[in-house]
């Protein structure tokens, strides 16, 4: 099994870091007091920056069959990474958004729980998938996504995020969920 701490790709290039930093704004006390919200809307609006960051997310994971993007901002990154690398994109949806047969995985929130869903027939068994999202915070959403991929019979070959909020300990939650490498383009 791959080691989460092993290098996945060469060091993140200065161009990738610059694209992230120039496309990110910080809003204090949003959505609640004491939270510093980091918004990547500026990055998403910059075609060159988005292309650069999306390609960097999936670089180094080896052969892939699909990029899985987690709703909602993971959709933007997942679709861009899939197009940049010539792969398909798997949409990991919030509960109740997909018709027909779905697999569902629940996870705890600060107050309550939430669920994610996929169509299990979207990819063949054994498909190699990289999961992408904008931020790794506590790791709950991404750990649930990993469990969901594995229940569908897909092989999670990596998890990649634009930002990792190290103080929130999300990497430890992912280590408990998978041995696949975890890559953050910028750790804060």
Instruction: Report, as residue numbers or ranges, the catalytic residues.
Output: 73, 110
Q: Which residues contact 129 (CB under 8 A, 6 or more apart)?
A: 64, 65, 66, 67, 68, 90, 123, 149, 154, 155, 156, 157
∠81-86-87 over CA atoms, to 5°? 70
Are residues 55 and 132 in contact, defined by beta-carbon separation less than 8 angstroms? no
Dihedral sign, CA of 27, 53, 173, 9?
Answer: negative
Are residues 143 and 176 in contact, defined by beta-carbon separation less than 8 angstroms? yes
User: How far, rounded to the nearest angstrom, does the alpha carbon of residue 102 sit from its chain's CA centroid?
Assistant: 20
């Amino acid at each position: 099994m791959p080691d989460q701490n092993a290098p996945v790709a060469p060091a993140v290039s200065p161009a990738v870091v610059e694209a992230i930093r120039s496309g990110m704004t910080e809003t204090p006390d949003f959505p609640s007091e004491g939270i510093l919200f980091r918004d990547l809307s500026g990055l998403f609006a910059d075609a060159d920056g988005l292309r650069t960051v999306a390609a960097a997310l999936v670089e180094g994971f080896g052969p892939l069959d699909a990029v899985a993007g987690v709703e909602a901002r993971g959709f933007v990154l997942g679709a861009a990474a899939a197009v940049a690398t010539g792969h398909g994109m798997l949409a990991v949806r919030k509960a109740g958004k997909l018709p027909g047969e779905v697999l569902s995985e629940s996870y705890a929130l600060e107050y309550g729980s939430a669920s994610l869903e996929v169509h299990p027939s979207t990819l063949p068994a054994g498909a190699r998938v990289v999961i992408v999202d904008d931020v790794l915070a506590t790791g709950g959403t991404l750990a649930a996504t990993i469990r969901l991929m594995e229940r569908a019979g897909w092989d999670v070959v990596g998890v990649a995020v634009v930002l990792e909020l190290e103080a929130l300990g999300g990497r430890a939650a992912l280590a408990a969920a998978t041995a696949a490498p975890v890559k953050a383009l910028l750790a804060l």
